[in-house]
Structure 1
Amino acid sequence: MAAAADASGAGRSDAAAAAASAACPCPICLESFRDEAYLDACLHSFCFKCITQWVKIVASKHEEPLSSVKCPLCKTENVSIIHAFDGESFQRHYIEQDRGKRCRYLSDTQEFISQIYNTREIPDDASSVEQYWKQRKYLRKNTWLEMWLRQEIQALTQDENVETIVYHIHGVIESFMKRQEKLHTLKQTLPEQTREEFRSLLSDTARPFLLGRTARFVAEVELFLISQRNIDAYSRARVQRFTESASHVAREQDALPRDRPLEDHYLYLLSDETGGEI
């Protein structure tokens, strides 16, 4: 009887722990913790794989290797990640362990993608955008999307292991499309509202991983979906778009008076981007 009671108690304890984990998911992947890890100063918890991926992304934005990293939730500086604890022991991963380990593995295609994100965004083809959302073309499944997202995110994070990020972003997009399919059947959607909801949701999902490049990423995802092309065809179209953008910048440079200093040239381009406000 005592053994049965102990087993029953252990079962309830495991169930309670599972319920608690589901109720408080990892703030990055929004799923139950896998190999739960803590930042050493603020003690906020994440999946170990998620938080180490976060550190890699933050490190890719800095020229010098990091010795500490800010918590994505509270911005407290932390120097290590504590994980694999079992009540008696734990492992500790120091942020500075990654010093000197950053390497460039990007393919030529991914190098090109990285360059694209450093140029000004090309204005949308308004008619194509309107038709895509008004005619509900987004309900057609894009079989290339997951592969395209992987290539794009690898280029942006400069990391080959991006499966967690791709899985999360692709899953959010797929869930959104399925929900829209149901609403379409009930005739409860407006094109403008649907587009705005999609862009807002994608932005919120991608921002923890892509930081300052999130807005441009959202625009590129929409352009890829609207194109309804496979990856190779879209890449060729994007090369042309990039070339046209470079030509536009060259024409702007030629239009500047030759006696203007370089500082004025940068102010001119910034003013053009911000609508006259710098």
Structure 2
Amino acid sequence: MEASSSGTSETERQPCSICLAPISDEAYLDRCFHSFCYKCIGEWLSFVAAKSSKPLSSFVCPLCKGQNSSIIHGVYGRSFQRHYASKDNIKRPLSDAHMLRLHVYNTNQDIGHNRADVVQYWKKRKYLQKNMWLQNWLRRDIQAILQEDDVDIILCHIYGTIESFMNRQDRGLSGTEEEKRDMFRSLLANAARPFLLEYTEQFVNEVELFISSGLNINAYDKACMKRLGWPKCYEVRNSNLKTSELPKCDGLRNSDLCTSDLSDQDNNSLSLGDDCDPDLVD
């Protein structure tokens, strides 16, 4: 009897407070940390959202009545998935700049600069040079793929993985450039896959294309539109993210980011120039 008790997990001893059965696919709330079956707490959130007359930014725990903003589930090692209260509401439309990036991923088109740029990037060890636009670029692509605004935790995880790898290269990690490239792609894919799922491989390709291009976000977008065959009269404007708005990621130095270079990219959108023929645009 005692052996059976010691072999029983904590989850099995504590049933879900909603269905009263042993917890299945454990999920917990981000503030009070009460745990439930993911299906049960998800249905609770949908019920609360349906009864609310306005969009939710938080919801009450059915057990303690405390306010929470998201459900944490699918925890495996250091990876997890997060379901925000706002996800059960009507999503805010993506900006045109985000739509451009989402179109790239959905069509799976290689629209970055020439693949030769990638080879030269590793061969000439250009990865030792800090890319001041990368964090803002990553934020927008992750937002576009997930169609969510709040991606700070995911951004910190992915950007931190890249920074950690680059810092090791700066200290003279041994290996050929091809081996270093393979390691970079593998580490980046492992960091991104729990969140980006089927978009992971394309995301890794896009990251490599962007950092090897040497372009800022505005110029890279224009290159993408040219490859897509979008009208030349499109003008690209990306969000002017201030340093104070960037997530405070452990090990990251926000002072390394040059926000002044983004000052002419102010509305996070694509717009038509004055000389554009509207008939050229869908």
Tell me the TM-score normalized by structure 1. 0.54
Which one of the candidate residues 89, 100, 103 is aligned to 1:101? Answer: 89
Partner residue of 2:105?
117
Contact 2:27 2:38 in 1 (8 A): no
Amino acid in structure 1 at the alignment position of 2:103: Q
Matched, 1:42 2:42: no
Instruction: Return the letter of the residue paired with 2:24.
Output: C
The equivalences for 1:246-265 within 5 A come to none
**Residue type of the partner of 1:117?**
Y
**Cα distance in 2, alignment partners of residues 214 and 115 from structure 1:** 15
1:79 corresponds, among 37, 40, 43, to 40
For 1:37-61, what per-residue CA distance to the aligned partner results, in whole angstroms no more than 9, with x for missing partners? xxx8336467828x9xxxxxxxxxx
Contact in 1 for aligned 2:25/2:38 (Cα 8 Å): no
The two structures, once aligned, show a CA RMSD in angstroms of 3.5
CA distance in 1 between counterparts of 2:169 and 2:121 reads: 14
Distance in 1 (alpha carbons) for counterparts of 2:100 and 2:41 = 34
Letter in 1 for 2:116: S
Which one of 136, 147, 154 corresponds to residue 147 of structure 1?
A: 136
2:124 counterpart of 1:135: yes
8 Å CA contact 1:41, 1:78 repeated in 2: no
Distance 2:216 2:195 in 1: 25
* CA gap 1:42/1:199 in 2 versus in 1, 3 angstroms: same
> Which residue of 1 is the match for residue 175 of structure 2?
189
Q: CA deviation at 1:212?
A: 0.8
Please give the alpha-carbon distance, in whole angstroms, between the structure 1 residues aligned to 2:130 and 2:169: 12
For 2:248, the equivalent position in structure 1 comes to none
| Alpha-carbon distance in 2 for matches of 1:128, 1:155 | 25
Structure 2 segments unaligned to the other structure (5+ residues): 1-21, 45-58, 72-82, 231-282
Deviation for aligned residue 1:183: 2.3
Counterpart for residue 197 of structure 2: 211
The answer to whether the 8 A contact 1:183-1:189 is kept is no
Does the 8 A contact of 2:26 with 2:38 survive in 1? no
Structure of greater relative contact order (alpha carbons < 8 Å, 6+ residues apart): 2
Structure 1's 164 and 223: CA in aligned 2 closer, same or farther, altered over 3 A? same
Distance across 1 between alignment mates of 2:138 and 2:87: 28
Partner of 1:235: 221
Does the 8 Å contact 1:139/1:181 carry over to 2?
yes
- The structure-2 alpha-carbon separation of the partners of 1:171 and 1:134, relative to structure 1 and needing over 3 Å to count, comes to same
- Please give the alpha-carbon distance, in whole angstroms, between the structure 1 residues aligned to 2:128 and 2:200: 24
CA separation of 1:77 and 1:100: change in aligned 2, threshold 3 A: closer
For this pair of structures, how many residues does the alignment match? 176
Deviation at 1:138, TM superposition (A): 0.7
- Unpaired segments ≥5 residues, structure 1: 1-39, 52-70, 245-278
- Following superposition, the deviation at residue 242 of structure 1 comes to 2.1
Aligned with 2:155 (options 145, 158, 166):
166
Structure richer in strand, relative to its length: 2
Relative to structure 1, is the Cα distance of residues 78 and 147 closer, same or farther in structure 2, using a 3 angstrom cutoff?
A: same
Deviation digits for residues 209-256 of structure 1 (CA, Å, limit 9, x no counterpart): 111111111110000000011110111111112229xxxxxxxxxxxx
Structure 1 residue 159, shift from structure 2 partner: 0.7
- Return the alpha-carbon distance in structure 2 between the equivalents of residues 191 and 96 of structure 1: 41
